[in-house]
Structure formats: structure tokens, C-alpha cells
Amino acid sequence: MSARPLSAFAVRTGEIALLTVRAFAAMAARPLEIKLWFAQMEQLGVGSLGVAGVATTFTGMVLALQTAYSLPELGVKYYIGSVVAKSLVRELGPVLTALIVGGRIGSGMTAEIGTMTVTEQIDAMRSMAVDPVKKLVGPKLGAVLVMLPSLTAIGCGLGIFGGLLVAVFQLNVQASVYLNNIANNLTLADVVSGFGKSFCFAYIIAIIGCYNGLHTAGGADGVGRATTNTVVTVSIAIMISDYFLTRLFFLAVS
């Protein structure tokens, strides 16, 4: 790899780090933008509930079917509850929710801020001594940090419920067996691992979406390129960070 791409990567990494510090400082600085936070939570989180719920529900149903049909001679259908719950809570719930919701809200943040950048609204805010990080980045980051773990929790619950439906109505497993299996095998470490990942993914989605929006150039074409770049970068960053986070949480509990 030549020096130029490495230099550009280092510059972007440093700029994202500086934006991170400024965003968290803006979130804590008074006056607190409570109304903006709630508006962003409704726009970014509540609006994504449907797509996240559908994806995780059917993922839980598929997991239940695959578990029962893959190794029927071992009687694994009686352990479907723990397989579905652990898979969703530790891995599939946080990752699927982050990928689906991240593509939706990350691109939306980039398009919104990018349009303001290319139409010089961001420059106008600075000329009036209004910090765009305080008004735009901070509320979006705070909203995603709250809503993505919440969506993950709802999605995992729906996925477990979907697995329950398949277990009871298609595999003839009693609901009490399914639920007791979950209660006996799902641990606090599983929950901490899953929700720890959700907070990290939320940060990745918000900071990349806002950074690309603030650095958009080139008019409408530039907004389109920045939006596409956000979706691709967020997806890759989530998958790469998921590996390292899994290693981290595994070493922490071992």
C-alpha cells in the first residue's frame, strides 16, 4: 500500500477522534439539548423499530428450524431455547440490528448534514456562533447510543418469541421446556456481551454518519457519494469490530 492512502486513513482517523471528543463534550455541556435528543430518538429509533423487529423475529424462527432439522438424531430440539437465545443475545441480535438500522439511520444522518454542508448552512451556523457539533452531532450521537441498545433488546425478545412459536407449533416442544431451557442457560455474561456490542455499534454508526456529512463536498452528487460511503463504511466497521469485541468479551469472562 502506498503512503498516500495510509496518510489519508491516518488523517480521517484523527479527525474522527477529534469529532468524538467534541461530540461527547457537547453532549455534556449546558444547555442540554433535551428536546433535540428526544426528537432524534423518535426519528432514528422509533422509526427503525419495524424493520428491526421483522428481521430479528424471523431470524429467531430460522434458528429454531435449523437447530431442529440439522441434528434431529441428537434430540437437540429440546435445547432450541438456549441456542436461539444465546445466538440472538450474544451475536445475531446486536449485529443484525446494527447492520439494518445502521444502514438506515447512518445514511439519513449523512444525507441531512451533508445537504446542510453543501448548501452552506453549516457555515452559516458557525458565522452566528452556533456550534454545529452541539446542535447536530451531539443529539444524534446521544439518541443512537440510547435507541440502538433498546432496539436490540426488543429485537432479541421478538426473536426469542419467534423461536418459541416455531418450537411449539412446528416442532411440538412445550413452551415451558423452551422457556426453562433459556432461563437455565442464558447468563449475565451473554447479556453484557450483547449490549456492550450494541453501544459500540451505536457509536460507530453515529460518528461515521455525522463525520461523512460534515465533510461532504460537490453538491448533490457529493451527498449521494457520502451517503453510499457511510453505508459501506458502517457495515464493514461493524463486522470488523464485532470480531474484536467478541474476543474481548470472551477473554473478559474466561
DSSP 78-120: GGHHHHHHHHIIIIIHHHHHHHHHHHHHHHHHHHHHHHHHHTT
pLDDT tens digit string along 125-156? 888 888 888 888 999 999 999 999 999 999 99
**Residue 253 scores a pLDDT above 70:** no
pLDDT tens digit string along 240-249? 999 999 988 8
The pLDDT of residue 205 is 94
Contact indicator for 136, 209 with CB cutoff of 8 Å: no
**Residue 7 scores a pLDDT above 90:** no
The pLDDT of residue 1 is 46
- 217 — pLDDT class (breaks 50, 70, 90): confident
Cell of 29: 455541556
| C-alpha dist (Å) from residue 106 to 1, 113, 190, 194, 235 | 29, 11, 27, 21, 10
Of the candidates 60, 57, 63, 90, which has an alpha carbon nearest to the alpha carbon of residue 191? 90
The pLDDT of residue 46 is 82
Cα 222 from chain centre: 25
- 96 — pLDDT class (breaks 50, 70, 90): very high
CA dihedral 147, 153, 157, 162 (to 10 degrees): 70
- CB-side neighbour CA atoms (13 Å) of 106: 31
Contact indicator for 248, 200 with CB cutoff of 8 Å: no
pLDDT tens digit string along 36-87? 888 888 888 888 888 888 999 999 999 888 888 876 666 667 788 888 999 9
The whole-number average pLDDT for the span 146-174 is 92
Angle formed by the axes of helices 188-214 and 3-28, nearest 10°? 110
